[in-house]
Amino acid sequence: MKAKLLERRKPFDKSFTSAIHNYPHFLNIWHYHPEFELVMMLKSTGTRFVGDSIQPFSPGELVLIGENVPHMWQNDKSYFERNSVLTAESITIHFRKDFGGEVLLDIPEMIQIKGLFERAAQGIAFQGVVKETAIEKMLAIHHAEGFSRWIGLMEFLQELAEEVDFKYLSSRGFQHPKEKNGDSRIDKVYSFTFNNFHRNITLEEVADIANLNPTAFCRFFKKNTKKNYSKFLNEIRIGYACKRLLEEKMNISEIGYESGFNNLSNFNRQFKSSRGISPTEYLSKHQK
Q: Tell me, what CATH number does 35's domain have?
A: 2.60.120.280
- CA distances to 73, 90, 126, 171 from 165, in Å: 23, 22, 6, 18
> 282: domain CATH number?
1.10.10.60
Residue 182 scores a pLDDT above 70 = no
Rounded-to-integer distance, Cα 267 and Cα 252, Å = 9
pLDDT (tens digit per residue) in 191-244 = 888 888 899 999 999 999 999 999 999 999 988 878 899 988 998 899 889 888
233 in the same domain as 204: yes
pLDDT band, very low/low/confident/very high, at 51 (cuts 50, 70, 90): confident
Task: Label residues 257-288 b or e (16+ Cβ within 10 Å = b).
Answer: eebbbeeeeebbebbeebbeeebeebbeebee
| 17-23 and 62-65 strand pairing | unpaired
Range of the domain at 94: 4-170
Q: Which of 123, 148, 170 finishes a domain?
A: 170
Check whether 177 has a pLDDT greater than 50: no
Is pLDDT at 282 greater than 70 in this prediction?
yes
Q: Which pLDDT belongs to residue 155?
A: 97
| Residue-averaged pLDDT of the chain | 89
- What is residue 103's predicted lDDT score, i.e. its pLDDT? 86
28 and 74 in contact (C-beta within 8 Å)?
Answer: yes
43 and 133 assigned to the same domain: yes
Q: Is the pLDDT of residue 180 over 60?
A: no
Arithmetic mean of pLDDT, 113-120: 95
Query: Phi then psi for 63, rounded to 5 degrees?
Result: -130, 140
DSSP 22-51: EESS-----EE-SSEEEEEEEE--EEEEET
| Pair 127, 192 in one domain | no
pLDDT greater than 70 at residue 276: yes
Q: Looking at the structure, do residues 85 and 217 belong to the same domain, yes or no? A: no
pLDDT in tens, 54-71: 788 999 999 999 999 989
Using the predicted structure, report yes or no on whether residue 257 has a pLDDT greater than 90: yes
Co-location of 70 and 144 in the same domain: yes
CA distance 93 to 18: 4
Residue 151 reports pLDDT greater than 60: yes
| pLDDT value for 258 | 92
pLDDT band at 254 (very low <50, low <70, confident <90, very high): very high
The reported pLDDT for the residue numbered 244 is: 87
At 244, give phi and psi (nearest 5°).
-70, -35
